[in-house]
Amino acid sequence: MERIMVGSATKVAFNLLVTFAIVIPCLEAGIAEFDDFLKAQADEAQKIALEAYVPVPEDVTDELNFHVHLSLENSTRRELRQRKGRSGKKCVASNPIDTCWRCNKNWANDRYRLAKCGKGFGRRATGGLGGPIYVVTDNSDDDMVNPKPGTIRHAVTQRGPLWIIFQRSMMIKLNQELMISSDKTIDGRGANVVFRDGAGLTIQFVNNVIIHGVRIKNIVPKEGGMIRDSYNHVGLRTKSDGDAISIFGASNVWIDHVSLSNCADGLIDVIQGSTAITISNCHMTKHNDVMLFGASDSYSGDKIMQITVAFNHFGQGLVQRMPRCRWGFVHVLNNDYTHWMMYAIGGSSGPTILSQGNRFIAPNNNAAKLITHRDYAEPQVWKNWQWQSEMDLFINGAQFIPSGSPIKTTYKKGLLMKPRDGTHASRLTRNSGALNCIVGRPC
């Protein structure tokens, strides 16, 4: 069990955060009618989010740094043994999430193991662990109120924990946003599952969700209407924005090995008091506004937002917001930034950003060499924001402008050394995106 020692000053600060809880405006939530059910759900989600908040976030970053170092050492040993003459293709997983499960050839018979592999702020997300396996057999999405059994919409709105897998490869065109209820895992391993040309995935006022191993592209806005969001509730929704994944007032969420590209709005939005989030091993391409953490400079409830962005590949055709942050604490660890057109990491409203061991390859445009971009504040204000770079690799003139007082990270005795530097980022991210997993073989 984790134990976190918190000083009196930190406790006072944490208690003050509770006062930032406010009723969430219905229109911003995509809710046309904020009924008693949704009000109770929002209150419960906010309570869980406050419980998930870590008063000393550096404790979580230190734990992840330790596991990164350990996994790279183990990976190097395996590769050296392979060079010494062992025959056959060996599975080599080089980051601590992948080493937990990928090289097990019986992964398909032990899918629940994935739930024990999360790291970072979203490490407590277990999704459908403990529940039955639900097999999606039908790619249709015709009924928003009474979805057909065997469809993804029927699966994500069922009661209790559920581990959702797919019978075969399929393309799913959602006619309205997919409202995912608490305690669900969407596990695309063993099939090529693509959500495209329709609405996106919404995680709103819920807790404990894992999305793994799917592809999401070409998501567009939808007009809304009556949509089921749980086994016992149907609500009236307004027009959706066209986000691939929208996380709104939710906590304990883990997005892993997802390929995302070319959507009408954001690829991943995390807003309105969401916290305890990890986004890992994803591959993102062909998009403008990639990730938005905190939607408003006026919503101080996002001070509890804590997000880990680790082992992702930010690839071709990306413009900005990788991520763009407001208010909270964001740990950006060992990602590979090979493309951006404007900037990579931005923010406003004084977020804390700890960048460690990333590789930043700047574009050839001399006007876009800066990694960092600060909005709506003069230098005399943003100079106090804590933005820190450690062991990052800067290529082709890339430049990270730090600010604020040092973020105090303590590498505890017995936890090996500091995190790997940016020269290892391409290796840590080489299997990013949805994997082509074959049953009976290491993934």
Domain ranges of the chain: 38-68+99-428
Q: What is the pLDDT of residue 18?
A: 43
Q: What is the pLDDT of residue 122?
A: 96
Question: Hey, what are 93's tokens?
Answer: 């997983």
Which single residue is written with the structure tokens 């506004």?
289
Q: What is the pLDDT of residue 85?
A: 37
Question: Which amino acid does the sequence have at 166?
Answer: F
Mean pLDDT, the chain, rounded, equals: 88
Buried b (16+ CB within 10 A) or exposed e, 365-389: eeebbbbbbbeebeeeebeebbbbb
Give the SS3 label for residue 60. helix
Helix runs in 329-402, H state only: 379-382
| Residue 108 CB-density burial (10 A; 0-12 exposed, 13-18 middle, 19+ buried) | middle
> What residues are labeled active site?
321
Q: What is the pLDDT of residue 364?
A: 97
Q: Please provide the DSSP assignment of 117-135 as one string.
A: ---GGGTT--TTTTS-EEE
336-337, strands of its sheet edge to edge:
170-172, 193-196, 215-217, 259-261, 283-285, 313-314, 336-337, 359-361, 393-395
Angle (CA) 203 204 207, round 5°: 75
Which residues in the chain come in under a pLDDT of 70?
Answer: 1-28, 61-89, 410-419
> Which CATH number is associated with domain 38-68+99-428?
2.160.20.10
Which single residue is written with the structure tokens 């951006």?
340
Helix runs in 84-126, H state only: none
Angle (CA) 238 240 244, round 5°: 155
d(CA 394, CA 361): 6
Measured in whole angstroms, the distance separating CA 87 from the mean position of its chain's CA atoms is 37
Q: Looking at residue 370, what DSSP letter applies?
A: B
Extract the runs of DSSP E, i.e. beta strands, from 150-295. 162-166, 170-172, 178-179, 184-187, 193-196, 201-204, 207-212, 215-217, 225-230, 233-237, 245-248, 251-256, 259-261, 268-271, 275-280, 283-285, 287-289, 291-293
Q: How much is the pTM?
A: 0.89
d(CA 225, CA 97): 39
Q: What is the pLDDT of residue 90?
A: 72
Buried b (16+ CB within 10 A) or exposed e, 125-157: bbbbbebeebebebbebeebeebeeebbbbbbb
